[in-house]
Chains A and B, each alone.
Chain A
Amino acid sequence: MKLFEYEAKSIAQNLGINTPRGAVASTPEEARDIHKRIGGEAVIKAQVLVAGRGKAGGIKFASKPDETRDRATEVLNMTIKGERVNKVLIEQKATAKKELFASIVLDRANRCQTVLASDQGGIDIEEVARQTPEKVLRHRIDPVFGVRSYDARLIALKLGYQGAQQGTFTDFLSNLYRLSVIYDAELVESNPVIEMQDGRFVAADLRVIVDDNSLFRHPEFQDRSKEISSEVTALESKARDNGLAFVELDGDIGIIGNGAGLVMATLDLVKQCGGKPANFCDVGGGANAEHVATALQIIQGADKVKAVFVNILAGITRCDEVAKGIVDVKKVMGLKKPLVIRMVGTNQEEGRKILQSAGLTAMDKMDEAARLVVGKAVA
């Protein structure tokens, strides 16, 4: 779950991480009042979860509170990459002595967390890593013992800091790491980290992504995680509420399968046969009739879907349960779109009998079934 910048900064402040003076506003008037309170020159930042808001015009500057109100009006009316802007963060513009980059990421290949840091902050860090990889420091964090003061100090030293500044940066980095531990963050990234004239390090921007699998131990995010974000389509949210792993795609062939790998392979196969998948839908291992019926109802109910492909390789899942789910949908609401079923594995014969009794058949090979469903979507 991605946190909004203002949420990330709020938890950071509680951990002693400096952020620019400011507050979040939902209306232009609130924005003006915040500017009055903080003084100086203000930055108005759209609070969205998508990346690239700067290029889209979602960050503006103003020197007077009334100007901030006008800029906030503009930003609050924006939609950035499909995401409505509901809030703006008003902050005092910081004058930087230097801009840095610091992040703590999950490093899959090395099975640990890794600190990435650079003295080239404020710009696209992936670009820096491509062009001049030596400018991005990488430091492995011990999974059990975490960032020790000497880990952080070594990074500060490599970034060119000595004396008191070395200590200040060491504390800043250690606090970012603490944040990643306390909030089970997949990513903590500050770009830029601003080194101020007075020597303080300030997280001018802050991105935090919380591991979805850890939400059970974060009651503070429970309500927030249920809010519909623009990153989740209406169809996705409906399907996920019903316990389906579901991703909406831009094609017209609905896909239902069991197991993430099998469903991915099914999408690939449909595409290879010239079709376009409308979704990824994994009913999971051991799915019962009700689960399958829900998936089929949701998918055939989508206007854009022209044909549906059910691909089941039953292991723990049982073919008779799958068949029952499909037949239930046929009886209760009817099959609204052409349906191709490939179903093999546990209780295959019972399953096929149930389908036959409702005038349906199942195929053996997924290649043939994919070709057939692509033909039906075109017809």
Chain B
Amino acid sequence: MAVLIGKQTRAIVQGITGKQGLFHTKLMLEYGTRIVAGVTPGKGGTTVVAMPVFDTVASALEKTDANASIIFVPAPYAKEAGMEAIDAGLSPVVIITEMIPARDSMILIEYARNHRATIIGPNTPGIITAGESKLGIMPGDVFKPGKVGLASRSGTLTYEIAASLTHSGIGQSTCLGIGGDPFTGLNFVDVLKLFRDDSGTDTVVLIGEIGGSAEEDAANYIRDTKYPKRVAAYIAGRAAPPGKRMGHAGAIITGTEGTADAKMKSLRDAGVLVAEVPSELPRLLLQQVSPLQ
């Protein structure tokens, strides 16, 4: 069991003929992901990596039975690419593209909400259900099947932590990046809800960072609902100064809001195991027995 993607996922790649799109389509296919078509406006009728390319998502859906999409198109076109996938009934829609204007993301996320579609990202490394399916740009080999569900606001830090979990013999169910932007389709609370109902997940790991209140909202949710599964977290950015964007558009401390220390405190107060450094996460999980075991 897992959340959002698995063996049943059949995806199209929007922006398949671009450099990144093509490169990662190959890697996703190698991992075993079922990719059924690509879409690039103006390149319909051609073929790349043995994959038929269509001009629009709707025409791809006439010839294939896709149920999900991953988007690599450049930022100026990403909003409409996302809407096109939603209109075709695809979900989840994974948006790898970074530097999308906040207004575009905001409108797209509202559009998805109104159409009951799930958006992962933007500015995400994607999602992987270990051993089954990968819709993303993460290195597949650091993930191993298991019972830890992982959600993160960053890319490489996710690989760092997933690798250290795997190295310690702790496998994962589904790992996903919610995205490093101010507006994301899923937030930590949404992901906690998904993992709560997944029998294949007994522990949730949240990897947060400075900026916004997604971690505080997660802490409140965990406390208020007496969350039934074990939760552990690591928050990056304790050394970050206020008012500076640390690489991600969303990683900025504004005034006194969004500091790492405040996030760590609210998570601890909600009973979450909080690691001081990334390498402490596997140690915390090995020491603490899951309530389900």
A-facing residues in B9-45 (Cβ within 8 Å):
20, 23
Enumerate chain B residues within 8 angstroms of A106, measured Cβ to Cβ. Answer: 102, 106, 182-183
Contact in complex: A108, B213 (CB < 8 Å): yes
Q: Is the CB of A271 within 8 A of B250?
A: no
Contact, CB under 8 Å: B213 / A213: no
- Whether A259 pairs with B157 at a CB distance below 8 angstroms is yes
User: Does B137 sit at the interface, judged by CB under 8 A?
Assistant: yes
Is there a chain A Cβ closer than 8 Å to B64's Cβ? no
Contact B106 A268, beta carbon cutoff 8 Å: no
Q: Does B237 contact A (CB under 8 A)?
A: yes
Are B138 and A315 in touch, CB under 8 angstroms?
A: yes
The segment from A12-20, A63-71, A277-285 found at the interface with B is: A277-285
Name the A residues within 8 Å of B137 (CB-CB).
285, 315-316
Contact A109 B279 (CB under 8 A): no
B247 and A280 contact, CB distance less than 8 A:
yes
Known: A213-B75, A245-B247, A247-B246. A265 touches B157 (CB 8 A): yes
A113-B106, A260-B248, A270-B239 known; A285 and B155 CB under 8 Å?
yes
Nearest CB on B from A110, distance (A): 10
Most B CB within 10 A of own CB, among A112, A211, A286, A365: A211
Q: Mark B265-286, 1 if CB is under 8 A from A, else 0.
A: 0000000000011110000000
Interface positions, chain A 155-213, Cβ under 8 Å from B, are: 181, 184, 186, 211-213
A268-B277 in contact given A143-B109, A213-B75, A245-B247 (Cβ < 8 Å) = yes
Q: Is A315 within 8 A of B107, CB to CB?
A: no
Cα separation A212 to B249 with both chains bound (whole Å)? 9
In the complex formed, the residue of B with least CB distance to A257 is: B156
* Max count, chain B CB within 10 A of own CB: residue among A216, A245, A262: A262
Instruction: Point out the residues of chain B lying under 8 angstroms from A365, CB to CB.
Output: 279
Per-residue CB contact flags for chain A residues 263-300 toward chain B (1 = under 8 Å, else 0) read: 11101111110000100101001100000000000000
Cα distance A79–B162 in the bound complex, in angstroms: 48
Picked from B106, B153, B209, B247, the residue with its CB within 8 Å of the CB of A143 is: B106
Contact check: which of B109, B155, B213, B249 meets A259 at CB < 8 Å?
B155
Q: Is the Cβ of B238 less than 8 Å from the Cβ of A268?
A: yes
CB-based contact A264/B102 at 8 Å: no
Chain A residues in 8 Å Cβ range of B239 = 249, 264, 267-268, 270-271, 277
Q: A109-B213, A268-B239, A366-B278 are in contact. List 15 more A-B contacts (CB 8 A).
A: A111-B109, A184-B101, A211-B103, A213-B102, A214-B103, A245-B247, A247-B244, A260-B209, A260-B251, A262-B154, A265-B157, A265-B160, A265-B234, A271-B238, A280-B244
